[in-house]
Amino acid sequence: MHLPAHEFVKPRTLAESLDVLRQAGNVKLIAGGTDVTFNMRGRLFQPDVLLSVRGLDELSGVGVDGDGWLRVGAATRLTDIENAPALGDWPMLRKACRSVASRHVRNMATLGGNLCLDTRCWYTNQTAEWRQARGPCLKNGVEACHAIKTSPVCVALNASDIAPALIALDAEILLASADNERRLPLADFYTADGVHHTVRKSDELLVAVRVPPTADATVYIKETARKGNDFSYAVIAGRKTDERVSKLVLGCLSMRPIQLTGVLDVLGSGELTEALIDQAADACRAELGVLTNLYTPAAYKAGLARALVRRALQTLKET
Amino acid sequence: MAARPDDKLNVIGRRQRRIDGFDRVSGRSEFTDDIRLPGMLHGKILRSTQTHARIVRIDTSKAEELPGVKAVVTHKDAPDLMFSEHQPVLAGDVVRYVGEEIAAVAALDLLTAEEALELIEIEYEPLPSATTLRQALREGAPVLHVRSPDNVGPTMEKDWGDPDRGFAESDCVIEDEFRTPMQHNTLAELHVALADFSNPDKLHMYTPTQGAPMYQMELAKGFGLETSQVRVVYRNIGGAFTGRGRPKPHHFVAALLSRKAGKPVKIKATADEEFIMFRASGETVYKFRTGVTSDGVIKALEADITFDAGGHDEWAMILWLPSVYLNWVYQAVGVRYRGRFVFTNTVPKGSHHGGIMGRMSAGWQQHIAHVAQELGMDPADLHLKNAVMPGHESPDGSVFASCGLRDCIKAVVDRSGWKHKYGKLPKYRGIGIGLGAQASGSKAADNDTSAAMVKIAADGVVTLYTGIPDMGQGSHTVMCMIAAEVLGTEPESIRVVQGDSDITPFDWGAFSQRGTFTTGNAVKAACEDARQQLAEIASRELDVAADRLEFGAGRVAVRGNAEQSMSFSEVANKSLHSTEGRFVMGRGFFNSPKPFGALAFSFGAQVAEVEVDPVTGAVTVDKVWAAHDIGRVINRLAVEGQLDGQVFSGMSQVLYEECKVEDGLILNPSRLEYKLPRAYELPEVDYTLVETIDPYGPFGAKEVGEGPIVVSMSAVAAAVQNAVGAMVPEMPMTPWRVLRMLRATADGSTDVGKAWSEGLD
């Protein structure tokens, strides 16, 4: 399939880009294009303007700010992040970046693109003819969901492998528009709605991600159908602060990454005994919300979440 | 003449690199999609978006008016052009599945063709549909074809030997049920057809194929031509795996568009369209029944198989394929087979890599392991006790002139340490054994002929003309090795002319594992003919009796006197550039003396060892021990490659592959979501080659093209069965299914099948 007709705009500066975002109507942002072009070929969206931010200076590069925070430009390629010496102090981020797709994809794909990845659903991520055969859904503005018939919101899955790691690291993001700039924790970026799955406004651009310095022990596990080059069945990112598990974030199981605060409450500051790990793993189901049969059966997702929590806690226990 | 094991061979049995290997890895190999003919148009097919509907109206006028569109075709353009007996190439009044071909467009470029498709208006009147076996067989189910009011299409019921006596003589009769899903062959090269029918007297069809004759015959029949008026041209081919045996609808559509537009038209599948075009295997339910004496003698074997044929019965051959497997492995008194096609509103089906036998074997060999378990026997002992032997005549009349099955079983049992492992492995580890047999060139009709020619040019260069395609299996390398052995030269020095039915001699093609066996025999005969011609000329020139000449290093020499010799060039010149004016051209052919069935059979046994993750349900295949009697090994490197590939594909089908189908739509029609494993998942393979020297095969060779995958699938399935503690009733054995099995067996459930069917997905 070919890309539908569109105007391709590639400004030289961030300011110009933000102007385009404010003025043009139906704009889709593109950086590496590994996901956007693919979905556009399938007519998942047909923007009037494709706005490329690839290689923009203001959006590129990895460095450590004066306050010791890591700063990564949103349009930095995943390969460049992996290879940046600064990442030595944030090993979980390096691991998460490296777990994405294949070397070829990471040579194109960007951090911002990964964090903003459109949610996925096997009733939507198909060709136009396929969707025509099946009928429209919430993604097309119609009150219908094929995954969960009664669902009032789109339940397509968040697909970012990196977001859980960055949330566990307390990362914050910088969003800019032509006349405003705001910071917010990455944890607050995502919503429980597969259609409008982030709080990014249509005139805003994700400029950078900042990660506070930390020496905490971390764990990152990605479960896939096969090794390498695949979307996840599920990922988990965890962190231990002062001998206490401080973060557990599950990704790719529902519309947004899930912070398992209830599991942390069960753990408290107790010693990570097998009994406590089991108890904590059992507690995770209540925090998952509604699970779908998208790509894997719902019961398997619940079981996998439990298994990943166990494995993450066992790893943290040993570190 | 059959070769003896002690024959001195120079080339046969080597580890020979592919003669086209460099071209392949350097990107120099040309594939069909690389071909661009002058004035070539691009075609696209409009497919049904309905599972079952009456077509009320088709309006193509807007598409026809779009600038750049050169032809639009619908059923009206070719109402009598049939794809199968009851199935027009382009749907007439009814569509029976999502994806059915309705109309097609040829345009100057692909973009315009795609745009034109969107301008075709179709009005449907939806009809009730049945998209699964269960729905189609239900009382009062929607009927797909009036000729089959119960939705049951062709059936086959056959007994061989005396199964009733066999069951009567049995102390114990075991039954099991197994299911396999719709699966898809993910070929490296997508389907593509480039038709040039601008001259209505000659249809040129450029396409990857397993053999030109069937394409010529079917296209000729469809378009009212003589077979020779259809020229089939092919280049390198990226895999076939049963999928390029005969033309598919897009071949006819491309020809139709080309005839109408007066220009060549290329139709190439998109990656998702491939799942519709391929016609892979469908949902299948197997009921196995085996009668056995208390001391482990298998008396009777029975299988009852229900196939989802899809919307049309395109390939009825699938019906009888599994029956042979029942006949060829064990020495039973009787075999009973029941097969039936059921129509559903889904894409018509063909088969997956391994034919139907591979899929069946994943259940059947678990069933045989279950029989052993009931008897308190080690399954390896049960296999060995009942395995066929040389000289055996199976109930279906097949005679095994050579057979090393028992040696194969012994080899894998020995090499895998089976006796130390079976029943003794830690929890969640499993070991399984499977057996298989495969015909090497199974003749279904008189025209199962291979012919070959070999030319020795005046410069001494040997050129082989063959119609056998190389789909990646390395057949051309094997043919060059056979030719080099006979002519006393090197495989790399031989040129191969292939891929054009106007030029190459008749060859039925690469089906039913006939390449090495049948074409190999033809090439051998052609080279022997050429050798005799060379010997005659050299004998005259060197003034020595022909039987005193020997061939080696591209020369003809007097035995024991290397001084007295001539190069091929010198010999060919003496013949060609003289008043004689005759060039050296050997001809050979092979057509089995048997009217039906095969002359030679390959056999194999494999043991697989697996580990199941009790938390995630993931299965890892750690190692596979494979022992195969494939007759004489021609190219050891290619044989090992075949074994690796088939272990991989077998494991992949058993553990990973599944088209998720919902309401007649495939939910995962992409290489991303159809979870094929990758090289990382390939287990270590230990090879044992049992070289029985077959009296009919070229230098004693049989086949290695499909036999091993059937065995791999059974061994991997039996290993998972062993690890989870009960027969796994369904493929693929995905993590969630394995977890469900583990729960069921942990609960001490006596009826795992029931626990299974009440499961979630």
Chain B hits for A296, CB-CB cut-off 8 Å, are: 736
Q: According to the model, what pLDDT value does residue A77 have?
A: 98
Residue showing tokens 């051998």: B524
Instruction: Provide CB contacts within 8 A for B164, sequence distance 6+.
Output: B300, B334
- Residue B617 and residue A293: Cβ atoms within 8 Å? no
Q: According to the model, what pLDDT value does residue B592 have?
A: 94
- Residue A123 and residue B667: Cβ atoms within 8 Å? yes
- Residue A129 and residue B47: Cβ atoms within 8 Å? yes
Residue B753 has pLDDT above 80, yes or no: no
Interface A-B: count of C-beta contacts within 8 A: 67
Any chain A CB within 8 A of the CB of B679? no
- pLDDT digits over B502-517, tens only? 999 999 999 889 999 9
Any chain B CB within 8 A of the CB of A311? yes
Instruction: Give yes or no for a contact between B277 and B269, defined as CB atoms under 8 angstroms apart.
Output: yes
Instruction: Provide CB contacts within 8 A for B136, sequence distance 6+.
Output: B130, B144, B151, B308, B342, B343, B344
The model's confidence at residue A86, banded by pLDDT at 50, 70 and 90, is: very high
Instruction: Tell me the fold of B353-438+597-758.
Output: Aldehyde Oxidoreductase; domain 4 (3.30.365)
Q: According to the model, what pLDDT value does residue A14 have?
A: 97
Residue B422 has pLDDT above 60, yes or no: yes
Q: Nearest by CB to A133, from B49, B672, B739: name it.
A: B49
Residue B354 has pLDDT above 90, yes or no: no
- Residue A300 and residue B681: Cβ atoms within 8 Å? no
Instruction: Provide CB contacts within 8 A for B396, sequence distance 6+.
Output: B160, B323, B324, B327, B335, B597
B378-387 burial, b at 16+ Cβ within 10 Å, e below that, comes to bbbbbbbbbb
Residue showing tokens 């659903």: A121
Q: What is the mean pLDDT of residues B306-316?
A: 92
**Nearest partner of A169 among A208, A206, A207, A216, judged by Cα:** A216
Q: What is the mean pLDDT of residues B293-313?
A: 97
Report the residue of A34, A226, A233 to disrupt the B interface, i.e. the one with the largest count of B CBs within 10 Å.
A226
Chain A hits for B617, CB-CB cut-off 8 Å, are: 300, 303
What is the dihedral angle through the alpha carbons of B129, B135, B140, B141, rounded to the nearest 10 degrees? 30
Amino acid (one-letter) located at B311: G
- pLDDT digits over B71-105, tens only? 999 999 999 999 998 999 999 999 999 999 999 99
Report the residue of B48, B124, B672 to disrupt the A interface, i.e. the one with the largest count of A CBs within 10 Å.
B672
The model's confidence at residue B649, banded by pLDDT at 50, 70 and 90, is: very high
For residue B662, the distance in angstroms to the closest alpha carbon of chain A comes to: 10
Any chain A CB within 8 A of the CB of B652? no
Q: According to the model, what pLDDT value does residue B748 have?
A: 65
Q: What is the chain A residue with the closest CA to B673?
A: A295
For residue B620, the distance in angstroms to the closest alpha carbon of chain A comes to: 10
Chain A hits for B656, CB-CB cut-off 8 Å, are: 225-226
- pLDDT digits over A157-202, tens only? 999 999 999 999 999 999 999 999 999 999 999 999 999 999 999 9
DSSP per-residue string spanning A175-218: EEETTEEEEEEGGGTB-S-SSS-B---TT-EEEEEEE-----EE
Residue B139 designated active-site: no
Q: According to the model, what pLDDT value does residue B587 have?
A: 98
Any chain A CB within 8 A of the CB of B680? yes
Chain B hits for A311, CB-CB cut-off 8 Å, are: 615
Any chain B CB within 8 A of the CB of A91? no
Distance CA B193, CA B175 (A): 46
- pLDDT digits over B202-256, tens only? 999 999 999 999 999 999 999 999 999 999 999 999 999 888 999 999 999 999 9
As annotated, the residues of chain B forming the CATH 3.90.1170.50 domain(s) are 32-127+192-268
**Nearest partner of B650 among B667, B665, B628, judged by Cα:** B628
For residue A61, the distance in angstroms to the closest alpha carbon of chain B comes to: 30
- Residue B668 and residue A122: Cβ atoms within 8 Å? yes
- pLDDT digits over B424-446, tens only? 999 999 999 999 999 998 888 89
The model's confidence at residue B280, banded by pLDDT at 50, 70 and 90, is: confident
CATH assignment, B32-127+192-268? 3.90.1170.50
Any chain B CB within 8 A of the CB of A314? no
Chain B hits for A304, CB-CB cut-off 8 Å, are: 616
Q: According to the model, what pLDDT value does residue B692 have?
A: 95
Amino acid (one-letter) located at A262: G
Q: According to the model, what pLDDT value does residue B320 have?
A: 87
Q: Nearest by CB to B736, from A1, A2, A300: name it.
A: A300
Instruction: Give yes or no for a contact between B452 and B595, defined as CB atoms under 8 angstroms apart.
Output: no
- pLDDT digits over A272-317, tens only? 999 999 999 999 999 999 999 999 999 999 999 999 999 999 999 9
- pLDDT digits over B138-163, tens only? 999 999 999 999 999 999 999 999 99
Q: Where are the beta strands (DSSP E) in chain A?
A: 7-9, 27-30, 49-52, 62-64, 70-73, 172-177, 180-185, 205-211, 217-223, 234-241, 244-251, 258-259
**Nearest partner of B423 among B682, B220, B725, B629, judged by Cα:** B725
Chain A hits for B111, CB-CB cut-off 8 Å, are: 2
- Residue B761 and residue A227: Cβ atoms within 8 Å? no
- Residue A133 and residue B98: Cβ atoms within 8 Å? yes
- The residue annotated as part of the active site, out of B101, B658, B706, B730, is B706
Report the residue of B120, B616, B738 to disrupt the A interface, i.e. the one with the largest count of A CBs within 10 Å.
B616
B289 SS3 class: strand
Instruction: Tell me the fold of B6-30+444-591.
Output: Aldehyde Oxidoreductase; domain 4 (3.30.365)
Averaged pLDDT score across all residues of chain B: 94
For residue B667, the distance in angstroms to the closest alpha carbon of chain A comes to: 6
As annotated, the residues of chain B forming the CATH 3.30.365.10 domain(s) are 6-30+444-591, 353-438+597-758
The model's confidence at residue B749, banded by pLDDT at 50, 70 and 90, is: low
Return the structure tokens found at B271: 């990656």
Q: What is the mean pLDDT of residues A144-153?
A: 96
- Residue A2 and residue B114: Cβ atoms within 8 Å? yes
B628 SS3 class: strand
For residue B712, the distance in angstroms to the closest alpha carbon of chain A comes to: 19
- Residue A297 and residue B47: Cβ atoms within 8 Å? no
- pLDDT digits over B600-624, tens only? 999 999 999 999 999 999 999 999 9
Residue B759 has pLDDT above 90, yes or no: no
Chain B hits for A1, CB-CB cut-off 8 Å, are: 114, 270
Amino acid (one-letter) located at B74: T
Q: According to the model, what pLDDT value does residue B758 have?
A: 42
For residue A313, the distance in angstroms to the closest alpha carbon of chain B comes to: 14
Q: According to the model, what pLDDT value does residue B318 have?
A: 84
Per cent of chain B over pLDDT 70 is 97
- pLDDT digits over B548-574, tens only? 999 999 999 999 888 899 999 999 999
Chain B hits for A226, CB-CB cut-off 8 Å, are: 656, 675-678, 680-681
Angle between helices B568-576 and B520-542 (to 10 degrees): 80
Burial class (CB in 10 A: 0-12, 13-18, 19+), B751: exposed
Angle at CA of residue A96, ends A94 and A97, nearest 5°: 65
Distance CA B55, CA B73 (A): 15
